[in-house]
Amino acid sequence: MSSERPMPEKLQASALKKQFPWIDSLTERLTSAGLSWARQSLSMGKRALETSAKTLSQTAGSLDEWEKKLERPKPEVEPASEAPAPEAAA
């Protein structure tokens, strides 16, 4: 059996940092780049959805206008009080 005990994680991380001091810088840059990509993607997605909603709203308005243009005018019905009664005409 070996007399070496496993190193706790904090000591391992500390040993790696001493061996490779650029690890923190690399981690920070990768995190920053990832966050920048995420922000950019969310911003573009938001704009795309807003544009889509605006387009759909305009299309709905156009369809409503066409519906009104295609409606047939309802024939006017004379009120019952003004129409002569069939018995009075005979």
DSSP state string for 33-89: HHHHHHHHHHHHHHHHHHHHHHHHHHHHHHHHHHHHHHPPPPPP---TTTSPPHHHH
Instruction: Look at the pTM and tell me if it is higher than 0.75.
Output: no
The mean pLDDT value for 21-37 works out to: 93
Helix (H) or strand (E) holding 20: none
- Average pLDDT over the chain, rounded to whole? 83
Q: How confident is the model at residue 13 (pLDDT cuts 50, 70, 90)?
A: confident
The model's pLDDT over 34-68, given as tens digits with 9 standing for 90+, comes to: 999 999 999 999 999 999 999 999 999 999 999 99
The per-residue pLDDT for 60 is: 96
How many CA atoms lie less than 13 Å away from 81 in the CB half-sphere?
0
